[in-house]
Structure 1
Amino acid sequence: MVAEQAATHPLDAGGAMHGRGHYPLTMGQLSMWRAVSVRPTEQLWESNQDLLWSAPAGTSEEELRQALTALAARHESLRTVYRPGDEPSAVRQVVLRDPLLRFRAASVREPFDLSAEPAWRAWMRPAGDGEPPQVHVVIHHIAADGAATRILESDFHALLRGDSLATAHTPREAAERQHTDAFRARLSAALEYRQRILAAAPRIAVSRGPLVRARAQTGIPYRAVHQAARRLGVTLPTLLLTVYVQTLAATTGRTDHLLWQLSANRMDPAVRGLVSSLTQWVPMLVECDPDGPLRPMARDVNVAAARALQHGVYDPYAVALTDLDHGSYFTIIPAPADAAVDSTPAETAPARVEFLPPHARSGPSFYLMAHVHPEVRLTVRVMRGGYRRVEVRRLLTTMTDLLLRAVKDTA
């Protein structure tokens, strides 16, 4: 049974918004707004994230409803609508005074009207035989990026337990800081960095091809890659990024590559726990000898990646729209904050590659996503000519083999 709650439209009969203020957007929100604004109508749903949260056995639907209402009251991004302005960059966020929830089942392919409703939906799945009750959440990326969805899930469980939580930071506070004169120098530096990198990047002609998605279950546990990165003196994301560059060099025959990292932009404590969209694509140039020693290569990549992330916050309307066919894209899904290094097996398991059904077609045409916990899983999505199943399998197999070699050589 689906629980439903009647909701008042945020616009009253006279067109006034039942909210407060018209605030600017964070640079991450602006990036998502701009990306959505040029997307075909049939692809608008592709920014929706499909989440499933479990609840303790015996939790009632009313308790789930109350926790979700409290979650929306806590985080302003769950009570926000967006008002376009005269200029594309002049969009403003309006925060509703009260939670506006629709507890009804909905397809992830159902797009949100960002100007008329908060960009999330939730509904309950009653407990089944031996299964706990669950909450199904569909939320737009402008309301919560990947890091923010994990914060939401953690807060949801804390609210179910009745825990007291510190006051949450708000997107409008972060956005107002990013639009001050004091922040302007940082935006200017990011713009100059981006222009310099793209001017020096190799320009390789690519053509669009059919969408191919595949995932490598590498069998390499989190503990092993974590320890390998530590022995190399780099971060775990840097180790994976280095192996990605090695793989690109080995499979393309080119040693110089333009890479795009998805920067979380959460190094500032004021935004570390913020539920909003902060992520932006930031470029870096890397040159790599696939047969060269790993340690110096990883350190060079570490320096380049750190420099790129320092320039991860930029005004998306001050730069050309990102060419999603230019370069190779990469993001890492980190281990949960409470994941212990020794909580996963120490031994590797056999690797395998599985092909996935086509899904979203918006976004980068060459994109690798790496999950690291409890083992490394590499998911690649390619929409470029020359990449069929055989080439995609080779890419994932090569990266798995190089990562395994890095783990063994540093043991």
Structure 2
Amino acid sequence: MHNPGDHPLTMGQLSMWRALSVRPPEQLWESNMDFVWSTPPGTSEEQVRQALTALAVRHESLRTVYRAADDLGGVRQVVLRDPIVRFGEASVRDPFDLAAAPAWRAWVRTPDDCGSPQVHVLIHHLAADGAAVRILESDFHALLRGERPADAPAPREVAERQRADAFRARLVAAGEYRRRIEAAAPRVPVSRGPLVRACAHTGIPYGAVRDAARQLRVTLPALLLTVYAQALAATTGRPDQLLWQMSSNRMDPTARRLVSSMTQWVPMLVECGTDGPLRPLARDINVAAVRSLQHGVYDPYAVEAMDFDHGSFFTCIPAPADAAFDPAPPEPRRIEFLAPRAYSGASFYVLAHVYPSVQLTMRVMRSGYGRDEVERFLGTMTDLLLRAVKDAA
């Protein structure tokens, strides 16, 4: 029997909870996200605090604690009536006690030149995913301007819908889809190696990649997935690839501005080479990607646990809604090696930011991948993307 004040988790929250349940304690902090928000000139620290408190009133995930259960799939979320905003500074490596207090905190710093305050936010992925972080920032600035954004959807409402009889067939179909794709994918032996991270600043402007995707009649993420698959085929010598893309699960209009953890990994199986015309390959991958995303909501406890060594993982961070479309020439490319972070999760992962120019951040923890191999892979992806842009121009 559950208390009337607690609720089930969304399938995205449940996926994150399952991932956390198998991590060693020293890796629990790796789901923390930290970022900085600017404020307009003349903003006071008190105005910032008031806007952050109003943000917590608006979004239930900022007022939520979690209650574990003997059955891991039965974990519950408890929404607090009053906001608890912790303003003390903290390190990104400080783990949250998810049962004790809402999994976020914020603090304010004013630069030495007496400029406007900067808001530092630390939040757990269970409280917000990448799309939700952008919603939070937009709402924070609206509240700071004295505006009142429209009412926000609540995670508990989405969670209840996902457990309704009308949704059951969709969950079953998504689970079957995931099992079928994983079973059909070739199993390649993988052993873990040291963590290497690098970012390829491709210098390719957002507008050029957007126009290339339009010429090919595919989505921009599908074009990047195509280039990813081509680079994998070129560097591994295997044409068939199991790709995992991150689904935001916000195709439902009622969830588009939901602040919570909605994301889940969904698979797709592609076969490609680096030669031959790009258009038919990109269109095939576009169809496979759309079909995959249509199965993005599944019960993580109804399928096998994620094997983060099986396949290659990919996330595309889209351009902001107000992105400028001014044409810009390509800039010089460069590869920057980054400090190691987040040893949990996918052992082969590329994260693509597309605005204002394409940046490809690669993280790999597989034997046989050192700095030289990572640099070659990112260079191959950049060359293939540049060729696609030039061919479509």
Question: For this structure pair, what is the TM-score category when the shorter chain's length is used for normalisation?
Answer: over 0.9
**Counterpart of 2:246 in 1: which secondary structure?**
strand
Alignment of 1:4-403 (within 5 A): 21-129=5-113, 131-342=115-326, 345-403=327-385
Residues 188-231 of structure 1 show CA distances to partners (whole Å, capped at 9, x for unaligned) of 00011111101100000010000000010000000000000000
Code of the aligned partner of 2:120: H
- Which segments of 5 or more consecutive residues in structure 2 lack a partner in the other structure? none
Q: Distance in 1 between matches of 2:44 and 2:357?
A: 34
**Counterpart of 1:89 in 2: which secondary structure?**
helix
Residues 93-129 of structure 1 show CA distances to partners (whole Å, capped at 9, x for unaligned) of 0000000111100000000010111000100012431
What is the Cα-based RMSD across aligned positions, in Å? Answer: 1.2
Q: Distance in 2 between matches of 1:102 and 1:84?
A: 23
Q: Distance in 1 between matches of 2:365 and 2:126?
A: 24
Task: Give TM-score, length-normalised by structure 1.
Answer: 0.94
Code of the aligned partner of 2:205: P
- Which segments of 5 or more consecutive residues in structure 1 lack a partner in the other structure? 1-18
Is the contact between residue 280 and residue 312 of structure 1 (CA under 8 Å) also seen in structure 2?
A: yes
Residues 327-381 of structure 1 show CA distances to partners (whole Å, capped at 9, x for unaligned) of 0000001111111322xx4210111111111111011000000000000000000
Cα distance, 1:290 vs structure 2: 1.1
Higher mean alpha-carbon deviation, 118-127 vs 307-316, is at 118-127
Code of the aligned partner of 2:283: R
Is the contact between residue 143 and residue 277 of structure 1 (CA under 8 Å) also seen in structure 2?
A: yes
Task: Give TM-score, length-normalised by structure 2.
Answer: 0.98
Code of the aligned partner of 1:339: A
Code of the aligned partner of 2:254: A
Look up the match of 1:7: none
Q: Distance in 2 between matches of 1:20 and 1:100?
A: 21
Q: Distance in 1 between matches of 2:193 and 2:163?
A: 40
Identity %: 73
Runs of 4+, deviation exceeding 6 Å: none
Code of the aligned partner of 2:361: T
Code of the aligned partner of 1:142: L
Q: Distance in 2 between matches of 1:346 and 1:61?
A: 38
**Counterpart of 2:5 in 1: which secondary structure?**
strand
- The number of residues matched between the two structures is 392
Q: Distance in 2 between matches of 1:220 and 1:195?
A: 37
Cα distance, 1:131 vs structure 2: 3.6
Q: Distance in 1 between matches of 2:200 and 2:114?
A: 31
